[in-house]
Structure 1
Amino acid sequence: MIGTRAARGIVRCCAALAAAACTVPMISPPALAAEHPHRPRVHYTPAENWMNDPNGLVYHDGEYHLYYQHNPEGNAWGNMSWGHAVSPDLVHWEERPLAIPYTEEEHIFSGGVVVDHDNSSGLGTDGEAPMVAVYTSAYTERSEHAGIQAQSLAYSNDGGETWTKYEGNPVLDIGSGEFRDPKVFWYEEGGYWVMAVVVADERVVHFYRSDDLLDWTKLSEFGPAHATGGVWEVPDLFELPVDGGAGGSKWVLVVNLNPGAVAGGSGAQYFVGDFDGVEFTPDRLVTGDDPPEGEVFADFENGYGDWEITNDLDGTGTEGPFGSAPAAGTLPGQQPVDGHRGGHLMNGFVDGDAPRGEAASPAFTIERDYINLLVGGGDNPRSDTGDTSVNLVVDGEVVRTATGRDSEHLDWTAWNVSEYRGRTAHIRVRDDASDGWGHVLLDHIMFSDAPARSGLENYDWLDHGRDYYAAVSYNDAPDDERIMLGWMNNWDYAGDIPTSPWRGAMSLPRRLELATLDGRPQLVQRPVDQLASLRGDIAYSHDALPLDGGERRLPPRAEGEVFELDVELDPETADEIGLTVRQDGTTGTVIGYDARRSRLFVDRERSGDVGFNSAFPSRSSVAVDPGATLELRVVVDTSSVEVFAEGGSRVLTHRIFPGAEATGISLYAEGGRGYARDLSVRPLNPYRDGTAQ
């Protein structure tokens, strides 16, 4: 998947960028893959060192350029510079020399690249259109702009190979330390450039215009809106036809979020609406998340009542973590708390994250099928490193647990407790973690006959899996296609991913469309068509494979590390039906369809190596349309699973780290008989004669 060009590239890089660490290993792609079992085959990774956000995605002179956040000196985040790779087809990549290196005064954060076709900037030479990178300068303490993030330019007159920083940098500075990630595009109707850029900690996107890429005038702002449990980063704004043009067109604003995403940690949300050249106006804003009717058990509006509160478990003499009374919202030193109801909540941030404590509710009898509750704070569920959890205890045993998402936003959790009806229970809150996010938030516990739906699920997300972040689209793609790429990782554990000498991978490039679903335009994503060039012959197929309880393993010819699987899961009478990939005798990644709840899930809790970070083992899910069958397209690489469901309207992306012997595929059904219909498995291989094509 990774190639290199001739030594001319190394000479050019090192001559132009002498200050940078400039190495392009002359190693064939198969050799790179063989060096580590988790080196992706059909996803881009650098040969070595750290990589995160995709930057500067642009198509120019027959090549797709991928710039990206890169540490040229190590396998951890730091020394942020722009790495570089190119591809003729989005599936075969060649790593190029370092593009824009950091300096002691300036680190090179995320941004975009445009081709200045009319040389409006005046930065071109010999009548050629320059490529202009608009990026965030993160100024260090050695700079006269210490602590500031501002927008700067670099330009290239050799097709994006070498870059010169504009001598008038920065070109846009508002004096903020959280002003970053510009995405610039040409607004054809107005005849000017538009920049979308975030003030991250305010959860706001700013829009600016320019005639020449040098001088910028503010147009408007958007936000905060929808998911605000973390900082906003890496915005993108683009126009797409609806239903192939039959429904006109709409604008899409993508805003990445960390933490507070629907699957936990970092993720990407989007808004559909209109852009008039000045303001973005969303078609839909969700402002309420009312739960089903029920009996309120605790809302903390009148003190703790009969709850038993135990503060200061470590005997340090603090009032924390819960204090003597519920908190009136945000506490000193805490990020803004939202999502609670009324004026008070249980907030475990009294005296900060360090104090440890416990709270126990009065006993009650379970008489309804669901307990709905608002939970926020740290995502530390009964782990060895600490515990910030809300637990349902029945007969002395914890039977249900909820945690926050490393966010100060409280969201609904619904416990199905129908099996415990008539039994006595109580709720126990543990705040036993002392590091970052070492606190828990709780409010509005209700007994109901139906589940409350997570407020986050009411918003629109690019991906409901754990590993799709900093998603951004290509400028100037052929045939006006909108192609998007994301960093296949999550900040919850990104620094601990067990790979070396590199760390970081990109998702498959995805082609985006807007389709009318449930009465409104929503994004549909599919792997780019060029992926077909990697397909081998069908290894296994079946028109209608019966699954009558238990597990059915596919024959050895279907097994492999890297493949594409298509299937329609028909549960018929089964409660659950699905498949397990990268399987051996004890481990595997489960892709399941819970027909009773109409939810598609990916469970990687036993997917291989899951012990490098307590946040990694997980199960993520998304609601799908109730129906007889569920159509899936699954792309499996050496260390990832991407699931495209219902024609690409639902996507779940996850990193996995299976053992080398985990190559099996099996299907299963539980609680009845089901079928795997139109099943096919094809190997994917980017290599021919030992080189990337």
Structure 2
Amino acid sequence: MHRRSRPGPRPGSPPPSRPTALAATAALATGAALALTGTVAPAAGADHPHRPAIHFTPAQNWMNDPNGLIYHDGVYHLYFQYNPEGDRWGNMSWGHATSTDLMTWEEQPLALPYTDEEHVFSGGIVFDEHNTSGLGTAEDPPLVALYTSAYTDSSERPGIQAQSLAYSLDGGYTWERYEGNPVLDIGSGEFRDPKVFWYEEGGYWVMSAVVATERKVHFYRSDDLVEWEFLSDFGPAHAVGGVWEVPDLFELPVDGDPSDTRWVLVVNLNPGSVAGGSGAQYFVGDFDGTRFTPEHLLEPGPPDGEVLADFEDGYGDWEVVNDLDGTGGDGPFGTAPASGTLPGQQEVVGYEGDRLVNTFVGGDAPRGHATSPEFTIDRDFVNLLVGGGNKPRTGEGGHATVDLVVDGEVVRSATGGDTEHLDWVSWDVSDLAGRTARLRVEDDATGGWGHVLLDHVVLSDGPAAGLADYDWLDWGRDYYAAVSYNDTPDDARVTMAWMNNWQYAQDTPTSPWRGAMALPRQLELETVDGRPRLVQNPVDQLESLYGEPVYERDRTQVPASGLDLPPAEPGRPYQVELTLRPGGAGEIGLRVHEGADQATVVGYNTAAQELFLDRSASGDTGFHHAFTSRSAVPMALEDGGVRLRVVVDTSSVEVFAAGGRATLTDLVFPDPGATGISVRADGGGGSVEDVTVRPLGPDPSGAAE
């Protein structure tokens, strides 16, 4: 298992002459300011009501992916993608913040600024304790950063992305670029995001990096962090609906047993995540020093069965109704199935054959529907390829769905994930055996992503593998570029991630900063349903922010009018721990940031057997058409309930369910006065038990506890 970096010295390698320093300068620095997990002066809510109190944000300007995470000499270093000149993506540089407890951060001067020749994309940092690189001395070994140089048109490598090196001899506060950069160049414009660790068993450094558009992770080895040799690659596999980015490979014990370990490969994806847009998937398996081999790899697609529709010969006997608004056009279905991508549309991929239903005819505005002939359900599963907008029936602004209709009722429904990549959806219809049904494609959405894609509907005896069958770090909308710390105390595997989604990240309603980090999480591997899976919880240091509970209850019924809990203090984050027991209720949910016309709901749907996070009416949702959402994770009840830990900040909700076996993370932008907390049950009785509500961090008003 990888511990701290302890390779032997590189004999006969005197330190090379140092290049001219291109480290942080006062002109580009944002200045240092003490922060309570991201409350980078001014205090949370002082300059903007949605400034987080317990999540890191820079004092100003744009931030995205965490970079170079390392614990060194008692300090946690957080570097991050940063625009020193504005609040939208651009001028990529490495910002920097430090902490001794992962909860309180001090923003430092800019670490690696962009230049006319290169922008500084994501990467990682290692402590070269025995100076294998020769960039320091035995007495003063360096920290070494491997990062992606995104070369500009002003450089000698226009459009190329290659891996470069910088080093620090003062503990990570100032950096010098290596004079021999880049150290790894394969001539690609999509080769990025190196993460490096010391492979103890082999006695060499290992780098993982992605060829993003090929959906591949490349592995390399080095003895000195400068010369790199290709080992192997992995991918494409599982979710491939977007580019692969920010890989991370590490080893963990299973169920706490140090003699039984597995390797975990994290691969971030944009777009094409299970919740829509950007997200983070992972694979569990073995790394032998050369190649990563996953234990659980699913082949996409359904078992053999009866093909109900493939649209290769037109719509056939389907009833198609275009132009519900009477504008005289052929949208949204057109006169025949589409032959792929339509004008004005991103590239459509993942369909089979030459044609598919694509309701982008005329753009997103037209409305219409199409209905299949009747068929008898005589297999256990309906499998279908679906893509397009994430516009479910439960959302606002109209829906764009594929529905299974029995006796005039919609009994199953599917929607895309805001991606033009079609993915398999499987409906278990064993309870409907012998019934007569129809498929109905409805496009009632008129805004962005207001269209649906459908292809290859198959009745089968088993399900097709799709996004919901893969392993995800987080099932919410806002957890991306997840990457772990090197050299943490006690070998804890601690991750941080950008709490945002590329679909709307540049439009979130915050100022003078834009971008936040999710809470630091500790990862562990536990055997779940017969195989090792990641379990995630906030790091223990979060408990240092605990205030005295304001509400505790062993068990209570949820009345028809709902159960009101004490409201939150304005501007102060809090944590709710409870077990939801739906009983006879169709849905039961914890409502946070609740006001007269808004709430964010963490709930359980009994029929679907899923835990959901619904921000459809969470406050300000109108700044981007893709923001309104309801995300869900499949989850069976345990002893009739689901245990939740919900951390609520001024502009986010993070859900840790069943001891961390599933997480959902969403940004929200509620009215500052929306401080209500309650539990509601719909369609029957429900109850809650072991409820604790406590504030986090100091009272923002300054009043004594």
Q: Which TM-score tier does this pair reach, normalised by the shorter chain?
A: 0.7 to 0.9
Q: Does 1:164 align with 2:179?
A: no
Give the equivalent residue in structure 2 for 1:601.
Answer: 612
SS of residue matched to 1:132: strand
Q: Deviations over 1:118-159 (max 9, x none)?
A: 111111147211011100000111111000000000111111
Cα distance in structure 1, aligned partners of 2:684 and 2:332: 48
SS of residue matched to 1:54: strand
Identity of aligned residues (%): 59
Give the equivalent residue in structure 1 for 2:678.
Answer: 666
Question: Given the alignment, which residue of 468, 475, 495 partners 2:486?
Answer: 475
Question: Given the alignment, which residue of 381, 401, 416 partners 1:403?
Answer: 416
Q: CA 1:357–1:532 in structure 2 vs 1: closer, same or farther (change >3 Å)?
A: closer
Q: Does 1:490 align with 2:497?
A: no
Structure 1 position 418, deviation (Å): 10
Give the equivalent residue in structure 2 for 1:623.
Answer: 634
Cα distance in structure 2, aligned partners of 1:529 and 1:587: 32
Cα distance in structure 1, aligned partners of 2:593 and 2:499: 18
Q: CA 1:290–1:532 in structure 2 vs 1: closer, same or farther (change >3 Å)?
A: same
Contact 2:399 2:443 (C-alpha < 8 Å) held by counterparts: yes
Structure 1 position 179, deviation (Å): 0.3
Matches within 5 A, 1:328-347: 335=347, 337-338=349-350, 340-341=351-352, 343-346=353-356
Matches within 5 A, 1:628-667: 628-667=640-679
Q: CA 1:618–1:238 in structure 2 vs 1: closer, same or farther (change >3 Å)?
A: same
Question: Given the alignment, which residue of 28, 36, 47 partners 1:21?
Answer: 28
Structure 1 position 453, deviation (Å): 7.2
Contact 1:345 1:441 (C-alpha < 8 Å) held by counterparts: no
Q: Deviations over 1:444-473 (max 9, x none)?
A: 34679x996771011000000111000000
Paired residue type of 1:520: R
Q: Deviations over 1:145-175 (max 9, x none)?
A: 0000000001111111111110100000011
Structure 1 position 92, deviation (Å): 0.7
Cα distance in structure 2, aligned partners of 1:378 and 1:565: 32
Paired residue type of 2:270: N
Q: Which has the larger displacement, 571-580 or 586-595?
A: 571-580
Paired residue type of 1:403: G
Give the equivalent residue in structure 2 for 1:35.
Answer: 47
Q: Does 1:217 align with 2:242?
A: no
Q: Does 1:588 align with 2:595?
A: no
Paired residue type of 1:207: F
Cα distance in structure 1, aligned partners of 2:657 and 2:631: 14
Give the equivalent residue in structure 2 for 1:684.
Answer: 696
SS of residue matched to 1:235: strand
Paired residue type of 1:231: V
Question: Given the alignment, which residue of 120, 127, 130 partners 2:132?
Answer: 120
CA-based RMSD of the aligned residues comes to 4.0
Matches within 5 A, 1:89-108: 89-108=101-120
Give the equivalent residue in structure 2 for 1:9.
Answer: none
Cα distance in structure 2, aligned partners of 1:458 and 1:40: 33
Cα distance in structure 2, aligned partners of 1:413 and 1:321: 25
Contact 1:25 1:47 (C-alpha < 8 Å) held by counterparts: no
Give the equivalent residue in structure 2 for 1:5.
Answer: none
Cα distance in structure 2, aligned partners of 1:71 and 1:237: 28
Matches within 5 A, 1:260-659: 260-290=272-302, 296-307=307-318, 326=337, 335=347, 337-338=349-350, 340-341=351-352, 343-346=353-356, 348=358, 361=370, 364=373, 373-379=384-390, 390=402, 402-412=415-425, 414=427, 427-428=440-441, 430=443, 440-445=452-457, 455-556=466-567, 561-627=572-638, 628-659=640-671
Paired residue type of 1:656: V
Paired residue type of 2:95: G
Q: Deviations over 1:323-359 (max 9, x none)?
A: 8765677899975722x45x34415499x99698777
Cα distance in structure 2, aligned partners of 1:563 and 1:19: 36
The TM-score with structure 1 as length reference comes to 0.87
SS of residue matched to 1:93: strand
Q: Deviations over 1:464-499 (max 9, x none)?
A: 011100000000001111000110001111111110
Q: Which runs of 5+ in 1 are unaligned?
A: 1-13
Contact 2:562 2:680 (C-alpha < 8 Å) held by counterparts: yes
Question: Given the alignment, which residue of 250, 255, 261 partners 2:267?
Answer: 255
Contact 2:571 2:672 (C-alpha < 8 Å) held by counterparts: no
Q: How many equivalent pairs are there?
A: 671
Structure 1 position 398, deviation (Å): 10
SS of residue matched to 2:490: helix
Paired residue type of 1:513: E
Cα distance in structure 2, aligned partners of 1:570 and 1:313: 43
Q: Which has the larger displacement, 26-35 or 42-51?
A: 26-35
Cα distance in structure 1, aligned partners of 2:333 and 2:26: 52
Cα distance in structure 2, aligned partners of 1:215 and 1:312: 61
Cα distance in structure 1, aligned partners of 2:367 and 2:660: 44
Structure 1 position 689, deviation (Å): 11
Q: Does 1:181 align with 2:188?
A: no
Structure 1 position 598, deviation (Å): 2.1
Paired residue type of 1:346: L
SS of residue matched to 1:457: helix
Give the equivalent residue in structure 1 for 2:91.
Answer: 79
Q: Which runs of 5+ in 2 are unaligned?
A: 1-20
SS of residue matched to 2:269: strand
Contact 1:150 1:172 (C-alpha < 8 Å) held by counterparts: yes
